[in-house]
Amino acid sequence: MVRRLAWFLAFAGAVPFLLATGTLFVSDASSVRVPAITALVTYSAVILSFLAGIEWGLAIRDESGNETTRAIALGLGTVSSLAAWAVLWLPSATWQVGCALALFVAVWGADQWMAARGLLPAWFVDLRTAVSALVAAVLAIALFRL
């Protein structure tokens, strides 16, 4: 049941990405585009920080991985969370969305690294791959539309 719920919630969590990006195609008016871009960028930062928290949660479990692997995972989680926050301060929407896209791919890569070292269960890797592919595609579309 938990796995099915995780899949459902993960894809439900992708809906704001779809809505914000879809809004970019509704109108070229700044009164529509600016809030949509703001929503897309801030939600990206929130979700990237959430993913960093998952990395921390997995890293602090004594029963998975080894001490070095877990320490690296803590660092990866910290760096990705700080990088997500930094996205909010970039000078343009193009930079913000482009960097958010790059960070989603990088965090997915970090998850792959952690999975190879026993920190992530296989089903979670499958989940993260599917949702990351969706979010990356949506952010790429948004970047193209900017």
Each residue of 17-31: pLDDT tens digit?
999 999 999 999 999
Does residue 96 have a pLDDT over 90?
yes
Crossing angle, helix 2-24 and helix 30-59, to 10 degrees?
150
The mean of the pLDDT values for the chain is 95
Q: Is 6 helix (H, G, I), strand (E, B) or coil?
A: helix
127 pLDDT higher than 90: yes
- Do residues 71 and 124 touch, judged by C-beta distance below 8 A? no
Whole-prediction pTM? 0.94
Q: What is the pLDDT of residues 31-87, one digit of tens each?
A: 999 999 999 999 999 999 999 999 898 888 877 788 899 999 999 999 999 999 999
> What's residue 46's pLDDT?
97
Per-residue pLDDT reduced to its tens digit, 105-120: 999 999 999 999 988 8
Q: What is the pLDDT of residue 59?
A: 86
| Domain ranges across the chain | 2-145
Report which DSSP code applies to 120.
Answer: S
